[in-house]
Amino acid sequence: MALIKRVSLVDQVYEKLKERIVQLKVPFGSKLNVSKLQEEYGVSSTPVREALNRLLNEGLIEFENNVGARVIDVTETDVRQFQEVSFAYEMAAARYAMKRGDTAQLAEKIYEYIEDYRKSSGVLESCKCIKNIKYVFYKTADNDLLLNKLESLNGMDEILHSLFSMPREKGGSGGQYHSGITYFETIYEAVKENDFAKVCDGLEGHQLWARKYILKNLETVKARN
């Protein structure tokens, strides 16, 4: 008999709010009024406040004295600093994965996800492939603290992916998102050669490439709101 997973009110409010924030349906800096959220979701203040605390821990909202909860405001500096921290964790994961894992098997798994990336039909699919490629390093690194740090970055990472995806979802050439494969092909070759420095070059190169799209669309979103 199939089991039906029970989802708490906190989980439901949290998921709905998070989805709206990371999909850019709530303007950056918007105030989140507890009373209005209670009325919108038909719940008491307790699940709303607990959901907001989760979003705070993920860095998606912030609390101000005498103001309450607000959606974070994302700036160009925020994007750069987030990517720098993310890159530092990626380098650590890659270093320990290459030291502790079998580089041939590591390269083979990365190649599988590169092929999925190549076959992807849109930027959202390609983003999932990119996450899978990077997760290979985290999983093989055998470091639970690194995995926990990865989880703590998920909220902001999802916002950046939403910004990155905007041009492709609205049309255009349709092939732009595939150009990012070259960076992961570099990473794949570097892992085969056990060349850690070259892996880092590939990871950093991809971040800088993606940043151009993210910042352009961040400007568009802010102008629209």
Q: Which of 71, 87, 109 is the last residue of a domain?
A: 71
Q: Do the domain assignments include residue 28?
A: yes
Q: Do the domain assignments include residue 1?
A: no
pLDDT at residue 103 greater than cutoff 60: yes
- Tokens read off for 1: 């008999």
State residue 190's pLDDT score: 98
Domain total in the chain: 2
Q: Are the C-beta atoms of residues 205 and 186 closer than 8 Å to each other?
A: yes
Q: Do the domain assignments include residue 190?
A: yes
Domain extent for 204: 76-224
**H-assigned helices in 120-195:** 123-141, 144-152, 154-169, 181-192
Q: Which of 49, 71, 93 is the last residue of a domain?
A: 71
Q: For residue range 141-164, list pLDDT tens digits in order.
A: 999 999 988 888 888 999 998 998
Same domain, 32 and 112: no
The C-alpha torsion from 149 through 200 and 207 to 152, rounded to 10°, is: 0
pLDDT at residue 169 greater than cutoff 50: no
d(CA 22, CA 26): 8
Buried b (16+ CB within 10 A) or exposed e, 184-203: bbbbbbbbeeebbeebbebb
Same domain, 91 and 199: yes
Same domain, 57 and 83: no
pLDDT at residue 173 greater than cutoff 50: no
Same domain, 123 and 210: yes
- Tokens read off for 66: 């005498």
Nearest C-alpha neighbor of 58 from the set 90, 12, 14, 10: 14
Local structure of residue 86 (DSSP, 8 states): H
CATH number at residue 48: 1.10.10.10
Q: Are the C-beta atoms of residues 114 and 122 closer than 8 Å to each other?
A: no
